[in-house]
Amino acid sequence: MDLAVRASLKGWEFLYVGDIRVKSELPSTFKAYRHQQHRWTCGAANLFRKMAWEIITNKEVSIWKKHHLLYSFFFVRRVIAPLVTFLFYCVVIPLSAIIPGVSIPVWGLVYIPTAITIMNAIRNPGSLHLMPFWILFENVMSMHRMRAALTGLLETARVNDWVVTEKVGDQVKDELDVPLLEPVKPTECVERIYIPELLLALYLLICASNDFVLGNHKYYMYIYLQAFAYIVMGFGFVGTKTPCS
C-alpha cells in the first residue's frame, strides 16, 4: 500500500483488471485471520498518519485525487468504518436496549445499514445467501479492526507488530512433515479461546435478555444473533480446525 500511494502521488495511473482469476491461500485459523486483519488495518491507519501532510502538500496530483486519498481511501474506509461499525452495532444498539427512553431512528437502524448491505450484495449476487453471516462476522471483526486502526493512528506499542499469517497450505505441509509414527499433538483448547469475544458476547446476551423481558424495541432478535456470532468465534469454531482437534 505504501508503494501504491507513493506511486499515485508521482502521477502513476493504475488499471483494475477484474476478469483475471488467481488462486489464493487463506488464513488457516481465526487467530491467523485476526493477525492478518490487524496488520492490514493498523498499517493503513499508520500510513495515513505518516503521509497525510505529504499528500496535502503534493503538487503533482489534483485536489480531487488528494481528497479521494485522504477522505475516502484512508479516513473513511480505514479509520472511521471500523470505529462506527463496532461502536454502533455492538455497543450503541445493545446499550439502547437496556436504557429506558432511548430509541434509535428507523433510518439509522434499518434503512442505511440495509442500503449498504444491498450495495455490497449487488457486486456478488451469487453470495447473497451468505450476507447475514457476513454481516455478523464483520461486526465481530470490527472490534479488532477498530483497535488496530487506533493503534496505527496513535502509534501505540503494537504498531510495529508483524506476525506472518499462517495459511492453509502451510498447515497442511506441516502436518505432512510429521513422521507417521509420531502422534500429532492436538491443539490446546485454551489456545482457541478468545476472551474479548466472549466478554462481548456476555454483554450482548445481557442486553438482549433485558430487552426481551423488559423492553419493547425488539432489538433482541438482532442482538442474540450477534451474541451467538461472538460466542462461535470466541470458542474458536472458525477456520480449518475446531478446538482440541
DSSP string over 60-91: SS-HHHHHIIIIIIIIIIIIIHHHHHHHIIII
Least confident of 129-133, 144-148, 208-212: 129-133
Looking at residue 12, its pLDDT comes to 85
Please list, in sequence order, all residues whose beta carbon lies within 8 angstroms of the beta carbon of residue 224, skipping any fewer than 6 positions away: 204, 205, 208
Say what the pLDDT of residue 183 is.
46
Lowest mean pLDDT among 87-91, 196-200, 212-216, 221-225: 212-216
For the ranges 48-52, 108-112, 234-238, the lowest mean pLDDT is seen at 108-112
* 91 pLDDT above the threshold of 90: yes
Name residue 239's beta-bridge partners: 29
pLDDT of residue 229 exceeding 90: yes
pLDDT reported for residue 207: 94
Helix (H) or strand (E) holding 144: helix 131-154
1-5: Cβ within 8 A, 24+ apart: 1/43, 1/44, 1/47, 2/47, 5/47, 5/51, 5/55, 5/69
Reported confidence tier of residue 201, pLDDT bands at 50, 70, 90: very high
How large is the average pLDDT for residues 70-88?
A: 91
Q: Which long-range contacts (CB under 8 A, 24 or more apart) does 170-173 make?
A: 170/25, 170/28, 171/28, 171/240, 171/241
241 versus 140: the higher-pLDDT residue is 140
| pLDDT tens-digit map of 14-72 | 888 878 888 888 887 888 888 889 989 999 999 999 999 999 999 888 899 899 899 99
Phi-psi region of 236 (alpha: psi -120 to 50; beta: other; left: phi over 0): left
pLDDT of residue 181: 44
Helical pair 131-154 and 195-213, crossing angle rounded to 10 deg: 120
Query: 9: which residues sit within 8 A by CB, 6+ positions away?
Result: 54, 55, 58, 60, 61
pLDDT at 205: 96
Whether residue 245 is predicted with pLDDT greater than 80 in this model: the reply is no
From the list 163, 131, 125, 129, the residue with the least C-alpha distance to 144 is: 163
Query: Could you tell me which of 65, 39, 68, 51 has the C-alpha nearest to residue 2?
Result: 51
Per the model's pLDDT, the better-predicted residue between 176 and 113 turns out to be: 113
Helices 131-154 + 30-57 axis angle, to 10:
50
pLDDT of 177 above 80: no
Average pLDDT over residues 67-93: 91
pLDDT the model gives residue 184: 44
Question: What pLDDT band is residue 178 in, cutting at 50, 70 and 90?
Answer: very low
Choose among 39, 60, 49: nearest CA to 165.
39
Q: At 1, list the grid cell.
A: 500500500
Confidence class of residue 11 from pLDDT cuts 50, 70 and 90?
confident
Rounded distance between C-alpha atoms, residue 6 and residue 3, angstroms = 5
User: What does the pLDDT average to over 203-208?
Assistant: 95
